[in-house]
Structure 1
Amino acid sequence: MTDTKRQLRALFFTRFANAYGLVTLLTLLSTYIELLGATGLVAGMFVTGLTLAQAVAVLPVAYLGDRFDKRFILLVGLGLATTAYAAFPFIETSLGFILVRGLQGIAATTAGLLALALVGELARDDGRGNTIGVSNAWRFAASIGGAMSAGVLYDAFGFGAVFGVLMVITAGAFVAVWRWVEPDETTVEGFAFSDMALNRRILTITSFRAQYAVAVTLVRTWVPIFAGVSVARGGLGFTAEGNAAAAGATAVAVIVSAEKFTNMLSQPYMGGLSDRFGRARFVFLGGLFYGAVAIVVPFTPAIGTALGLPAVFPFFGDLSTAFIPLLVVTGLLGVADSIREPASMALFADEGTGSGVAASFGVRDLVWRPGSILAPLAGGWLMTNAGMEWVFYLGAAAAFTGVFAFLGILSYDHGRAGLTKW
């Protein structure tokens, strides 16, 4: 019999492989748009094709995962991902890219949802937050590595090398799951998704998550925009004329990676604390901290000026006095999210284990979708009509309304000590 630790390591690597592929394609998206001459709606479908495929796949994948062997369905997802990466170098039209991108979306949802469900099932009840935190740390490591390596590999060797690496990594995950993860016997009769959607605790956490999706989507999307667009448009202009384009783009990449890096380092520890002291208070504190830090982003230029910080840096050249404050603030955003995420995910796993863990995480995924789709539209309108700082104010407000709705429901159900009950 395969030991649990080895099974978990195989699943951690699977989450790494899945995230690595998604981030690599996201990094190369602008390159594909240029090469294929995509404009307007077609260019939008380069992104939306993946998102729609992921959304459509959630319900059937959750049902199949709970009804049958999760390991087998996970292997199917990894096989589809390997097939998609093999097809990308041969794409010659926008339609071809959209179709293969959709296949990648189905594969990514299958692999991501079921790998996470298996991690949740295999984790000990008293260590689930820590185990999920470690799993997420692997995902963030992939996000950093994929973003940094994709452009380098493409510039040096072309698409063939990029997708060759993705095929090897994904095939490696397939072999690891096939070799070390045991068949899953915790099958559930019927349609577990409806039971999970009406579960009282899941309904409570989704009252927070639906609003928090707006906060995270806005802040994560607009931090690199704030760093990169011109001062005239409300940004810092790290990539504006007068700076070396490559150095400016690297400065933006460093800013974005700071959040992922601190999140990666903090998640296992914060997840372990949520195992010891309860999930609900970590969801509340993490969301509250995230909103408070988001408000600070537009003030980083003033902070840099007030502290007399440098505006010129080795390699990067002329940037802004806001560079160091923004780097610190984005790092704090990662810490804030690390407080919330493993506790939140462990709550879904706690409720779903034994009765529909794939469905539980499927509900979690679907609740996120509306906010993640609508928030960028609101952010674009605010950026144009009110000023970029209002994007971050809206993001912070969504985090605050989410945490206080969560607190209100817990207090209604359990009294003043509601946060201590979970």
Structure 2
Amino acid sequence: MTDTGKQLRALYFTRFASSFGLITLLTLLSEFIEVLGAEGVILGLFATGLTFAQAVGIVPISWAADRYDKRTILLGGLGMSVFVYLGFAFVGTSWQFIAVRAVQGIAATAAGLIALALVGDLARESERATTIGTSNSWRFAAAIGGTFSAGILYDSFGFDAVFTLLMLMAAAAFVVVWLWVEPDDTRIHGFPFTDLALNKRILTMTSFRAQYAVAVTLVRTWVPIYAGLEAARGGLGFEAATAISVVIAAEKFTNMLCQPYTGGLSDRFGRARFVFIGGLFYGTVAVVVPFTPAVGEALALPTTFPFLGTLSAAFIPLVALNALLGVADSIREPASMALFADEGKGQGVASSFGVRDLVWRPGSVLAPLAGGWMTSNVGIDYVFFLGGAFAFTGVFAFLGILSYTHGRDALAAW
């Protein structure tokens, strides 16, 4: 019998490998667009093809994982990932890229969602948020590594080297899961999505999550846009891609560092209050982002930086605020995930996480459309104000429904 710690480490690496592949190809998406000459609707499908395939795959993959052996489904997703990255090496047209990208979405859902479900299943109830937070830290480490290494690897060796690395990582994850993760003997009959989607505690959490998806998608997407957009359109006009990478990485880095610690605190002091505090903190930081130029000027911060060149006095405040957004999200995320795992334990952990993922999708798809319209017609500052507003309405709806449905002390009791 493999010890639980070894199984969890195998699953942590699996989440790292899966996330590394996603972020690496996302970072190089513009290169594919240039090489394949994508325009118009085809250009949009380069981005949305994967997201749509992920959304379609959630329900059947989660059902199969709860009904049968999660380990087998996970191995299937990782094996598919190996062939997906091989397939990218033979892409010659935009439609071929979209098709392979869609298959990548299915493979990523099987690998990421089921690895997370197994982590939630294996974790002790008293340490569930801590364990999930540690797992998420590996995912954020992959995001940082993929963001910085993708361009360097592509510029030095080309696409083939990138795909070879991703194939090897997916294959290594397959091997460690096959060797160290034990078969899962939990069998949930029927269709657990139905019961879990109507579960009162999950409905309470989704009342927050559906709105919070808009907040996070807007803010996380528009911080780098705000940094790089020319000043005439309301942005900061940073031309150095490395400077924008530093801004993006700040949020990932603090999230990675804090999640195991904040997860442990939520295990000790109650998960619901961490969801509330994290969401409130996120909204507060979001609405301050447009004021970074004023903050930088008021503090007389430097405008020239080693390796990055001349930027603006807003650079340091923007990096600091994005780092704080990572801290805020680290307060909320492991506690939220642990609550969903708690409800799914014995009833369908994969389906519980599937419900969680599905609720996120509408906001994550619609928010960029709203953000694009506001940037062009109202002003980019209002994108962050809207993101903050959705964080606030989400946390107060969560608090209201939690108190009304489960009692006034539910925030402390959950």
Structure 2 residue ranges without an equivalent (≥5): none
Question: Structure 2: how far apart are the matches of 1:259 and 1:352?
Answer: 29
* Cα deviation, residue 316, structure 1: 1.1
User: Is 1:115–2:109 an aligned residue pair?
Assistant: no
Question: Structure 1: how far apart are the matches of 2:47 and 2:82?
Answer: 20
Structure 1 SS opposite 2:186: coil
Structure 1 SS opposite 2:190: coil
Question: Structure 2: how far apart are the matches of 1:258 and 1:190?
Answer: 44
Structure 1 SS opposite 2:195: helix
Question: Structure 1: how far apart are the matches of 2:330 and 2:32?
Answer: 33
User: Is 1:418–2:410 an aligned residue pair?
Assistant: yes
Alignment of 1:10-409 (within 5 A): 10-239=10-239, 248-409=240-401
How does the TM-score come out when normalised to structure 2?
A: 0.99
Question: Structure 1: how far apart are the matches of 2:407 and 2:334?
Answer: 25
Identity %: 70
* Cα deviation, residue 314, structure 1: 1.2
Q: Is residue 137–residue 264 contact of structure 1 (8 Å, CA) maintained in 2? A: yes
* Cα deviation, residue 331, structure 1: 0.3
Question: Structure 2: how far apart are the matches of 1:225 and 1:96?
Answer: 28
Structure 2 SS opposite 1:90: coil
Question: Structure 2: how far apart are the matches of 1:415 and 1:205?
Answer: 15
Q: Is residue 80–residue 107 contact of structure 1 (8 Å, CA) maintained in 2? A: yes
Once the two structures are superposed, what CA deviation does each residue of 1:44-88 show, in whole Å capped at 9, x if it has no partner? 001111011100000000100000000001000001111000111
* Cα deviation, residue 328, structure 1: 0.5
Structure 2 SS opposite 1:91: coil
Flag as ranges the 4+ runs of structure 1 deviating above 2 A: 413-418
* Cα deviation, residue 413, structure 1: 2.2
Question: Structure 2: how far apart are the matches of 1:300 and 1:2?
Answer: 51
Q: What amino acid sits opposite 1:352 in the alignment? A: G
Question: Structure 2: how far apart are the matches of 1:378 and 1:78?
Answer: 35
Q: What amino acid sits opposite 2:129 in the alignment? A: G
Question: Structure 2: how far apart are the matches of 1:212 and 1:391?
Answer: 14
Question: Structure 1: how far apart are the matches of 2:42 and 2:50?
Answer: 13
* Cα deviation, residue 356, structure 1: 0.4
* Cα deviation, residue 354, structure 1: 1.1
Q: What amino acid sits opposite 2:407 in the alignment? A: G
* Cα deviation, residue 108, structure 1: 0.2
Structure 2 SS opposite 1:309: coil
* Cα deviation, residue 9, structure 1: 0.2
* Cα deviation, residue 417, structure 1: 2.2
* Cα deviation, residue 277, structure 1: 0.6
Once the two structures are superposed, what CA deviation does each residue of 1:327-347 show, in whole Å capped at 9, x if it has no partner? 100000000000000000000
* Cα deviation, residue 315, structure 1: 1.4
* Cα deviation, residue 416, structure 1: 3.0
* Cα deviation, residue 17, structure 1: 0.5
* Cα deviation, residue 415, structure 1: 3.5
Q: Is residue 414–residue 421 contact of structure 1 (8 Å, CA) maintained in 2? A: no
Structure 2 SS opposite 1:361: helix
Question: Structure 2: how far apart are the matches of 1:167 and 1:81?
Answer: 7
User: How many equivalent residue pairs?
Assistant: 414
Q: Is residue 16–residue 138 contact of structure 1 (8 Å, CA) maintained in 2? A: yes
Question: Structure 2: how far apart are the matches of 1:314 and 1:21?
Answer: 30
Q: What amino acid sits opposite 2:267 in the alignment? A: D
Question: Structure 2: how far apart are the matches of 1:317 and 1:362?
Answer: 45
The match for 1:244 is none
Once the two structures are superposed, what CA deviation does each residue of 1:226-253 show, in whole Å capped at 9, x if it has no partner? 00010001000001xxxxxxxx110000
